[in-house]
Every structure is written in C-alpha cells, then in structure tokens.
Structure 1
Amino acid sequence: MIVTVLAEMSRAGNLPAEMTRFIGRQRELGEARQVLARSRLVTLTGVGGVGKTRLAVRVAADLRRSFPDGAWLVELSALREPALLARTVADALRLPGQASGDQTDRLADHLSDKHLLLVLDTCEHLVDGCATLTEVLLRAAPRLRILATSREPLDVMGEHTLVIPPLPVADQDSATGDDAVTLFADRAEAMVPGFALTRDNHPTVARLCRHLDGIPLAIELAAVRLRSMSVEQLVDRIDDRFRLLGTPRAAGGRHRTLRATIEWSHDLCTAQERLLWARLSVFPGDFDLAAAERVGAGGALAADALLDVLARLVEKSIVLCERDGRRYRMLDTLREYGAERLTELGERPDVLRRHRDHYLALAEEARRDALGAGQLPALIRLREENANLRVALEHSLSTPGDEETALHLAAVLQHYWLCLGKFGEALSWQDRVLTATEALPPVHRERAWVAFGTGLVAVQRGEAERGRALFERAAAADDPVLRAHILHGTGLVALFEGDLEGARTRIAQAREKFARLGHEEPAALLAGPHLSSVLALESDWDAALAVAEESVRAGEASGEVWNRSFALYARAAARWWTGRKDEAVDDLMACLQIKEDLGDQLGITLALDLLTPATLVRGRYEEAAMLLGATERMWRELGAQLQYGPHYMERRALSEKALQRRLPADRFQSAKRRGGELTITEAIALARGEPVAAPGPAPARETLTTREREVAALVAEGLTNRQIADRLVLAKRTVDSHVEHILSKLGFTARTEIAAWTPPPD
C-alpha cells in the first residue's frame, strides 16, 4: 500500500501549490501550451521579476495530466556549481541511491523511457551547463519535454524561446481591463483589509503600475507597502523604488528586494554588457541602433564590438527590441539601475554629451532635408525622437558653458516645431534658451533667429504684443533673410488683428524679398498660402486662386509636403468660394492626409474648419455640428485665442448660423457637445464620412481632488510644471505626479486637453 502511494506521488510530480491567485497571462499560457505540444524544449525568457517561474509552474500544472510520469520542478536559483546540475535534477526527481560522481548518465538512463515534463527554473547563471544537460537528456529520452525559465536563451538546437513581457497597463482611465492593476488590487486586498479598487483610486493605481513597468514582482512588493502608506504616497516616492520596494521574509533570496533581482541580472553580465547597460540609461525611451552606437561605444567598449554586446543585452532581457527590430528600449526599472551605475562610473556627463551631439546632428540633417522629398520622413523621424531631443536640450541648458549649444539646437528645431504645430513645446524651450543666453549681444545671429521663432509662436497663440517685441529684438541682427521673415510675421499680426490691407501688403512684400534672396525654406514658402488666404478673405478669388496654384506647383516640384499642404488648403478655400466645391473637398482631403501624417494639429484644425461647411451642404447637419464642436475644442487646445483673426472667424460663424437654422436648438447643441468630446482621430474620421463611435460622457470636475483642480487651473494658464511648483511651493516631482494623475483620471493624453477642459476662473 505504501509503495503504491509513493508511486502515485512520484507520477504526480512535485509542483508546488499556488499560494496566491494567478492573474492574467492567458495569451502566454495558451502560447506556451501550444509550443510545448510541438517542441521538446521551450524556454521562457524575460526580465527578472516578470513572472517566468509562476507562469512555468502554471503551464506545467495545466499539462500535468498529459504526462503519465508527472511534471517536475527543478529550482536552480540557489545552485552555483554547474557540476552539480545533474545531481540537483536527480534529487528533484527523487531518484533512489546516493551514487557519487557525475549523475548525467544515470539521469539520462532513468528518463529514457519516461513520458515526463521537466521544468528547469532559473537557468541564466548556469546557462552553459543547462544547455549541455538538456541536449543530453533530450537525446536520451524521446518522450521528455523540458520547460526552462531563464533571462537569456539556452541556445540549444531545437529550442523554442517565448519572451514573457511585463503585464499590460491600460493607457486610459477605466475601472477594469488591465492585468497589472488587477494584480495590485488582489495583493493589496490581502495586505490591507478593506482595500478595494474603485473608479476614484484606479488612475493612481494604474499610474503606479506604469511606473513599475508592469513587472509583477515590483507590483507585489508595492502592495506590501500599503501596510504603512497610501497608494498616493507610493506614487510620490516611486523615484526611490529600489529602497522602497523591499519584500516580506517569505520571498526567495534573489527576490527579497527589487534591487536584488536587478543586481542578479547585473552580476550575470560581462564587463562590456554592464558598461553598455549603464550608457544606454541616458535614453529616456526608445532609440535606434545608430544612436546606441554613437552613445554607447568608446573606451572599454569598441565600436565594432557594440552590436554583439547589444545583442547579448537583448538576449538577457535587459534591452527590449521593438518595432520590427528597428528600435530598442529599457524598462524604467532597469534604466534607473543603469543610471546609478553610470553615475558611479563617473561617465554620465560624457555620455550625455555624446547623446546631445548625436541628436543635434540628427536635427541638423533633418533641417537640411526641410525642402524636397525627404521632408516628411525627416519630420516624422524627429517626432519619433522627441523625447531624446528634450533630453539633449535639457542637458545643454543645465550644463554651464553649453548655453550656446542649446541655442543652436533650439534654432535648428524651430522648423520642426513649426511644421508639426508644437507651439506650446516650442515656446517653453525658446523662452528658456533666450533667458539662458541673455548675455549674448543683440546682433547675435542665431539668438535673433530664436527670438523671431518665439515671436512667431507667440503671434500664433494670440500674443500679438509679445510677438512684435520679439520681432523688434530679432531685427537687431541685420540679417536680410531674417528681416524678410520678420516682415512676414508682422503681416500675420495684421491678419490676426483684422487689418487685411496691412496683412496683404506685408506678406506680399516678404514673398517678393524671399524670391529675390532665393530663400526657400518652409516658413518662407508659407508666405504664398498666407497671401492667398488674405486675398480670399478680401474676396479677391481669382488672385487668391492664382497664388495658391503657384504654391501648389512649387510644392509638387520640390517634393516637400508641409508647405504644399497649406497651399492645398488655400486653393481649397478659393475654389470653395467660387463654387468649385467638389474640387475644394478633394484639396482639403489631400491636405488633411498630409497633416495627419505629420501630426500637425494646427493644419488639421484648419482643414476640418473648412470641411464643416462641406459637410453641411451635403445635408449631414448633425455631423457638421459635431465638426464645429471638435474644431472649437481644438482651437482652444492650440492656445490660438484669435483663431486666425476676426475675418476668419466671421467665415467660420457662417457655418454655425446655417446649422442653427437647419437644426433644432437642442439637437444642434447636443451634436456640438458630442463633437467637442471627439479625439482628433475621430474628428478626422467623421470628416471623411467614416463611422465614429459615440463619445462617452465628459469627465466631471468632481473626479479631481482640490489640489488637482488647482494644478489643472495653472496648467490651463500655460504654466510649466516647474512654474506651478514655484507658485504652489511644491516639489516639481509632486507637480509631475499631479499632472499625470489628472491626465489619467480624465482620460487625456496632452496638457492642452486639460486646458480645454478646465473652465475659466470666476
């Protein structure tokens, strides 16, 4: 009887019982089961703490009945001597006898007729030994399946690798639907009686989980801390995550702290891998191979060795490879650990300088491609690298003696900010750069260009007086090309103030000067569409159409798209008011496509504004009212208070009045309100006649705390987080936390949406 029981136990295996609820991972569970059905060796790889062991045990438990000889777990984390691998496996399988020497042959003989699943857990520190042993065992035992967990592949013939990602965290505010938040809530309920995930605390929990990269270990450690602090306090202190996230005594040795599990990975890296890990920590998000080579190589890491070292970091789950292998990134947790090591190495200033130089060169290259067929990919590339450009600017501004480099980078990026309608970001950096370089003489050419660019942004945002003052400051440089731009800028001021004659005269003169000087950069070419728009507002349709046609042809000849999109818009306006409505709509759709590709919100708003009457005349009244509401909100988000001047607004008001005549007041207001709740993508789809899901209810102000409403009001005033911190006497990090919390609670993705949502002060 005892022998029979022992035999049954042996066949069942030794998988541990689950102590806590298993959450999520349905896709990974299904994939692992499918792969194990056709592959004899499957390795689950991923960053430390991502849950490889827990997943492997669950997969083995699910498949246990398929293996008559059981599913067996072999824990290797405490083993340091490769020679003892076979003995450790034999002990886990409860092989009888205490034979001395290498146990590999004995183990292979035992398994030769077994139909069994072997789970080798934590192989990364014994990867060569594990690879050798698995090859021997798989050759000897044809019905053996091995499921391994490791931070890097075993690199064995026939191995199938499954990369286990962090748990997903929903981007938008929702009460359910993401595994990371569910995991935190489950563990928090066990730690703190009465804790419950609610609509009010969900955004904070989601933000915490995002900061922890969705790593289950980190999330579980954070839940333990709820015994002594609130979720909000955890979020405020997350920058010190390695000290904050200790573990209960029950945790395994390498998982006693978050730092311990990261240090385990660090210890398994070679010196070159550790060095590259540290250097790559200067990237705030993703990066490409060229950037890694420029920033990561040097000194003890030769350029020709970098690709191999980077590949090994990918294999070891330190660096993630994304977007079809074009981009790389590190999880925040690993990046922060690398940043600590970089500081200890004393290399941080030099590596940040190399990072700055690389992205400055990239921006200069994009600037050279500002005209021609390379314009769109160059602008999209800059948009893709926006986070890295911010780091480069910040480094230059914060490094004594590098202020002129910051000035140069800001000057180079002005065309990018202008083309993509990044007015708020442009103004923030330009103001800081001008302040940092106040000691330079007024005739300094590059500073004058930045002053002009700042003035142009100010004018676009409705700050005419400030724009004039900056134009005057820029004029001190006595640069003929710059003077032509300033003349163009003063023409825009006149346009936005309703002085059409002054606008026409100045913009036409600027256009003539650009032509004489042979100056053909984007802002200069924009004089054509601007002049056409002024002529259209004066009802000089033939002249407006002629100028627009000339501008469209110029854009088509050069291959550039940004100026051509505005030329298409100008031609559409002229065609519309002369009765060529179908051609006008074709132009607007072409313009809208370019603006959408660029992500240019100003251009999108202008195109949608003109598509509103086009929708109206086709009898789609409610959709036209929705477009009206959408563009009204988009103008507010842009901060362009004048909305291109009173004459432009008069034309825009015609659509509103026509809709009010055709729709009952309640239906008009309802449609307009619904339009104001659409995303930009949804508004574009609506203009194209595509189906759009009904927007949800607008977020209520009551969802925010008193402090969050206070911060939201200051965001609406246009203050930066640093300025808000100074105003409220708070740490900037605390303000960063409040702003992210507001965005998450309200389901927004940009500060401009906070500004549009926040009501004006009483």
Structure 2
Amino acid sequence: LLAAGDRTAPGRQRTLLAIVEWSHELLPPKERVLLRRLSVFAGPFDLGLAEQVCADGGILRRAELPGLLTGLAGKSLVRHHAPGRYRLLETIKQYAAERLEEAGEAAHLRDRHLKAVCEEMERCHEAGSFDRRMPWQERFAHLTRGRALLDDSRNAVDWAVESRAPVLGLRLARAAMAVMAVRGDLGESVGWHERLLALDLSGAPADLVAVARSGLAYGLELADELGRAEELVVRGLEEQKRHPYTHWLGITYGVALTVLFRTGQSERARCYAAELEAAAGAHDDLFNLVTARIAQLNLALFHGRPDEAQRYGEEALALAGQAGHHWSLARALTHLGAVAEAAGDLETARSHHAAALPLLEDLDNRIELARCQAQIGRVAAGLRDYAAARGHIADSLALSRQTGQRRGIVRALMAVSALAHARDDLEGAVLAAAAATALRESIGQVGASGRIEELLALARARLGADRVELLWARGRRMPPEVVAGFVLDGDPGSAAPPPPVLAHDGLTAREREIAAMLARGLSNRGVAEALVISPATVARHVAIIMEKLGFDSRARIAVWAAEHEVDAERT
C-alpha cells in the first residue's frame, strides 16, 4: 500500500506516502505544526486536550487551535471520531510523528502529553468516584472519559519510564487504577506499576510510592498471585498509615481484606476491618465504609452468624445509597444475596442478585458480573429453574475466561456442581466440585469445605465410596472447561465417560504394590500401615488405579490383581 500505486496516475498520487507528503506540503505552516504535535495522542482527543498539549503560547496560541483543527479536519488529515472528539488515521499519525522527531519537538511534546493526561485522569477519578454532590450519570460520564484516555495513558506511562519521570507516572497509574478498578480490569496496571517502581524513587513522595505498591498488589490479587499480593499490600498499608488519611488508604485496606479472606486469615481480616471502619468513619469516607461493612458481613457469615451478617449487609446497602456509587450498590446487593442464600431464602437471594446485575452491566465490570452470574445460577438451580441456571452459569464461565480470572472459574464450577446436584446428577456434581477444588488449590485460595463435604457424604451413600474416589480423582485432573461442558451440556450421568482399560504396564510400581495388597484383602488403613503412608494417600492411589484400569470399585482391582498374579513382594 505504501510503495505501490496506479502507474498511470500523476507522480504525487502513485503511493500513499507521496499523497501524504503532497497534502502536507500544501498545509499552511501552523497547520503543519499542529498536525505533527497531534501525533503524540494514541487515541481520540478533544479540543481541550489538544490545547493543553499542543499550544505553547509562541508558535501556536491556544486561541488559534479551534480554527487550525477545523482546517485539518476539512482536509481529512484529522477525522471526527465522535461529537467534539478527533483522531488521526494511523498512517497520518506515523508520518506526523516522523515530522515531530525531525523538528526536535518529540521529547518536549511527550512531556506535555504525560502531564496533561495525568491531570485529566486525576480529574476523571476524583469526580467519577467520590463526589457525592454530583448525580450518578454525571459521575459516570467522568469514569467513561477516563476509560477513553487509557490508550493515551499507556503511551504516557511508557514515556514516564523512558524519561525517568516516576512521580507523574505513578500519579497517572494511581488515577487510572481507580478508573480501571470500577471496570474490574487491572491486569494491565501490574506492568505499569512494576516498571515505575523499578525507577529511582528517591525524589518521589513516600505516600505516593506506598499507594503504588498497594496498586501493584491490587492487580496481582485479581491475577490470583496471592503470595506476592499479600507481601506488597501489607507493606503498602503500613507505609500509608504513617501519613494523613486519604481514600487510597481505605482502598488499600480493601485489597488487604480480600487477600486475607482468600488465604483463610480471618482473624487478621477482623482486625483490618475494624481499623478500616474507624478510619473511614472518622473521615466520612462512605465508599470505604461500605467495604468495611462488607468485610464484616463476610466474617459474620464465615463464623455462622447470619443475623449479624444481615445487619452488616443492610448497613452496607444504606451507606452505598448515600454514597451514590453504583459499584458500591452492586457489591452490597450481591453480598446481601449471599446472606439470603445462606439462610435458605432463595427468592430474596435471586432478587438481590438480579438488582445488582444491570448495575454491573452498565459499569462493564466483567469480574463482578461473572461473580453475580454464578451466584444467580446457583440460586436458580436451588429453585429448580434449570434453564435459567444453566444460562447464568455459562455466562459466568465465559466472562471469567475472557478476564482470565481463575477464581471466577472456581466460583462458576461450584455453581455447575450445585446445578448438577439439584438435577440429581451426583456424578457431575462430584466432578465439578473436584475440578473447582483443584483449581482453587493451584492459586492458593482457601475455600469453605462444608458444602463439598456434604456433597461427598451424600454421593458416597448413593454411589459408593470407591466410585466417588474415582470421580474425585478424575475431576481433579480434567480441564475445568471439559468438566463444565460435560455437566452443562451432557445428560445426567454422562459427565464421566469410562476411560479405556490400560494394560498392566500402565500402573507404577507403587500402584501395583497397592493393588496386590487389595487382592490380599487389606483395607485402606491396613495398606497405609504396611506402607507407612496416610490412608488419604492410599485412597488417592486407589482412585488413580481405578481410573487407569477403568474400574469403579476396589473389589474389581482386587480381582484383577489376583487374575494377573500381581505380587506385592516382587514389586
């Protein structure tokens, strides 16, 4: 496209580059200056941003920019993107960027761009997140504008790293993090914070650096890197506590609480929730007071105090209504739904989750939306509304795969298990619970085991302990999407197709040894004592042997071992 063209056309029209150069040469001098300066924008921009970045009071005065921008738009070198917003086509942008380098203005314009984008993102965050005097739709418009600045924020952070400007870079990353968090998408901010924190921070304010460490922890927590997240957020929290309170400290407490809940540290979480309640309450920080109430709700629910959890949930909902932030409202509603489900009031639970759903859809918060869909699916299964349950759970899985969040997949798999259980498909329920448990363990997340133990007890009574051990071992090894597909799309009972029978050589030496002991009539405990291992380890070996040989009971293993003269002494 750049090198070839119509050979019969005039020379200036034979290549795209020639056309652009010809058009550029026809521009008045000031339009040329503006065009090359506009190349620093990665995405759409408006007149206000163009004035902040491109007008210098010398060559280009602010008052001149509207007319110059209109002139470039009239020549199709600048395109209208939306009402009041403009953009450059990529080819034009590349050409203009080369002219900017030739003019020796690139570094200066990128400095101005970094500063302008940082300040604009900070305005979007402050107005969009915490100004209670502003109606929600106006506040949401600021959050939407902040999202529209993310392409330019990427370029600006790159320049902050390249030009060694950590303060502006960290300020921008902090404000952008808040805008991205409402959408539930902080994966990109991890790279931003890692690169910025690697710079020389000796001249950076300590509280700004502390917030950055907490911001990195926030992104890591969402990416299921709980070990690194805990270390960073605790450090960032202790550093921020040495400075006057800001809402960023409250947000850091919220991240710390999430990490502690996920790693089973409920006592530390209780202490942090009390600290957050006191600090946010003293500073009338309703957004973070909602977070404190939700944390207290979770603790009460975990310790079996449903009435207390209900009270905290109602307080969270009232505070969220005062704050007027739809994300807070949605969080309070979904947690109240969890309380109602725990109390067995499934209709109320579904009502709360259904009220949160459109709020999260408007925010385009796919992580929280995936959680809400899984919760509605589980509740719908309990109400025997299987078609609705399947649709919600499938949507939850799809959203979690899009965001790459494994804990969302864990939550959806548990909902799959609940649906299978409700349909009396105990094999599918065990498979899904096993897959969820394996994935949860792989990310270091602690989960309540009560529901799973109840399911396994029922399954053992109905299917037999050996069959359940086999299903559990199989589910732990199967890919989550395969398990979900079997249970959601297959007929009850078809979730675990029998594997092919393997030859004798398919067993390891230890597995042949255990098979021989079963043939001699030893129980799992007897095998464990003979081999000096735990009964649970024996049970896992037995399940694997059944999987490999295609059997569904210990008795069949014993018969097979006897028929094949498997000798424990020889192994």
- Scaled to the shorter chain, the TM-score interval is 0.5 to 0.7
Residue type of the partner of 1:353? D
Aligned equivalent of 2:196, options 411, 433, 445 = 433
Assess if the C-alpha contact under 8 Å between 1:415 and 1:523 holds in 2.
no
Aligned equivalent of 1:453, options 207, 215, 237 = 215
Q: Does 1:386 pair with 2:160? A: no
Aligned equivalent of 1:565, options 326, 330, 344 = 330
The 3 A distance-change label for structure 1 pair 674 and 251 is: farther
Q: Does 1:602 pair with 2:402? A: no
The 3 A distance-change label for structure 1 pair 512 and 663 is: closer
Q: How does 1:234-273 map to 2 (within 5 A)?
A: 242=2, 245-247=3-5, 249-273=7-31
TM normalised by structure 1 equals 0.51
Q: Does 1:469 pair with 2:231? A: yes
The 3 A distance-change label for structure 1 pair 285 and 408 is: closer
Match of 2:485 in 1: 673
The Cα of 1:427 is off from its aligned counterpart by 1.0
CA RMSD between the two structures = 3.3
Over residues 562-592 of structure 1, what are the superposed CA-to-partner deviations in whole Å (9 max), with x where a residue is unaligned? 2222112112222333354444333323322
CA distance in 2, matches of 1:521, 1:384: 27
The Cα of 1:434 is off from its aligned counterpart by 1.1
The 3 A distance-change label for structure 1 pair 344 and 513 is: same
The 3 A distance-change label for structure 1 pair 529 and 651 is: farther
Aligned equivalent of 1:316, options 72, 75, 78 = 75
Could you say what secondary structure the match of 1:569 adopts? helix
The 3 A distance-change label for structure 1 pair 317 and 295 is: same
Assess if the C-alpha contact under 8 Å between 2:384 and 2:422 holds in 1.
no
Over residues 141-174 of structure 1, what are the superposed CA-to-partner deviations in whole Å (9 max), with x where a residue is unaligned? xxxxxxxxxxxxxxxxxxxxxxxxxxxxxxxxxx
Bigger mean CA offset, 522-531 vs 565-574: 522-531
Assess if the C-alpha contact under 8 Å between 1:421 and 1:601 holds in 2.
yes
Assess if the C-alpha contact under 8 Å between 1:630 and 1:676 holds in 2.
no
The 3 A distance-change label for structure 1 pair 537 and 605 is: farther
The Cα of 1:534 is off from its aligned counterpart by 3.6
CA distance in 2, matches of 1:317, 1:612: 51
Residue type of the partner of 2:258? L
Q: Which has the higher helix share?
A: 2
Could you say what secondary structure the match of 1:322 adopts? strand
TM normalised by structure 2 equals 0.67
The Cα of 1:496 is off from its aligned counterpart by 0.6
Assess if the C-alpha contact under 8 Å between 1:575 and 1:581 holds in 2.
yes
CA distance in 1, matches of 2:149, 2:252: 30
The Cα of 1:331 is off from its aligned counterpart by 0.8
Aligned equivalent of 1:415, options 156, 170, 178 = 178
Residue type of the partner of 2:263? E
The Cα of 1:531 is off from its aligned counterpart by 2.7
Match of 2:301 in 1: 536
Match of 1:661 in 2: 424
Assess if the C-alpha contact under 8 Å between 2:286 and 2:323 holds in 1.
no
Q: How does 1:187-198 map to 2 (within 5 A)?
A: none
Over residues 241-277 of structure 1, what are the superposed CA-to-partner deviations in whole Å (9 max), with x where a residue is unaligned? x5xx243634432222211111121122211211111
CA distance in 2, matches of 1:532, 1:455: 23
The Cα of 1:288 is off from its aligned counterpart by 1.6
Residue type of the partner of 1:291? L
Could you say what secondary structure the match of 2:424 adopts? helix
Assess if the C-alpha contact under 8 Å between 2:12 and 2:22 holds in 1.
yes
Assess if the C-alpha contact under 8 Å between 1:404 and 1:437 holds in 2.
no
The Cα of 1:459 is off from its aligned counterpart by 2.6
Q: What number of residue pairs does the alignment pair up?
A: 428
Residue type of the partner of 1:531? Q
CA distance in 1, matches of 2:341, 2:284: 31
Q: How does 1:278-317 map to 2 (within 5 A)?
A: 278-298=36-56, 299-317=58-76
Over residues 403-454 of structure 1, what are the superposed CA-to-partner deviations in whole Å (9 max), with x where a residue is unaligned? 222122222333223222122112111111111245568x811101111121
Alignment gaps of 5+ in structure 1: 1-217, 219-241, 678-762
CA distance in 2, matches of 1:434, 1:408: 12
Q: How does 1:734-753 map to 2 (within 5 A)?
A: none
Could you say what secondary structure the match of 2:198 adopts? helix
Q: How does 1:711-750 map to 2 (within 5 A)?
A: none
Moved over 6 A (4+): 648-651, 663-666, 668-671, 674-677
Q: State percent identity of aligned pairs.
A: 24
CA distance in 2, matches of 1:664, 1:471: 41
Aligned equivalent of 1:493, options 259, 280, 285 = 259
The 3 A distance-change label for structure 1 pair 276 and 487 is: closer
Over residues 310-332 of structure 1, what are the superposed CA-to-partner deviations in whole Å (9 max), with x where a residue is unaligned? 11111111111132x23211110
Residue type of the partner of 1:347? E
Residue type of the partner of 1:386? L
Assess if the C-alpha contact under 8 Å between 1:451 and 1:470 holds in 2.
yes
The 3 A distance-change label for structure 1 pair 570 and 277 is: same
Q: How does 1:178-217 map to 2 (within 5 A)?
A: none
The Cα of 1:387 is off from its aligned counterpart by 0.5
The Cα of 1:382 is off from its aligned counterpart by 0.8
The 3 A distance-change label for structure 1 pair 270 and 326 is: same
Residue type of the partner of 1:589? A
Assess if the C-alpha contact under 8 Å between 1:407 and 1:433 holds in 2.
yes
The Cα of 1:527 is off from its aligned counterpart by 2.6
The 3 A distance-change label for structure 1 pair 649 and 313 is: closer
CA distance in 2, matches of 1:487, 1:256: 62
CA distance in 1, matches of 2:381, 2:19: 61
Match of 1:683 in 2: none
Which one has more relative contact order, counting CA pairs under 8 Å at least 6 apart? 1
The Cα of 1:665 is off from its aligned counterpart by 6.4
The Cα of 1:523 is off from its aligned counterpart by 5.1
The 3 A distance-change label for structure 1 pair 654 and 518 is: farther
CA distance in 2, matches of 1:344, 1:675: 62
Over residues 172-201 of structure 1, what are the superposed CA-to-partner deviations in whole Å (9 max), with x where a residue is unaligned? xxxxxxxxxxxxxxxxxxxxxxxxxxxxxx
Could you say what secondary structure the match of 1:321 adopts? strand
Alignment gaps of 5+ in structure 2: 433-480, 490-571
CA distance in 1, matches of 2:285, 2:200: 28
The Cα of 1:618 is off from its aligned counterpart by 5.1
Residue type of the partner of 1:338? A
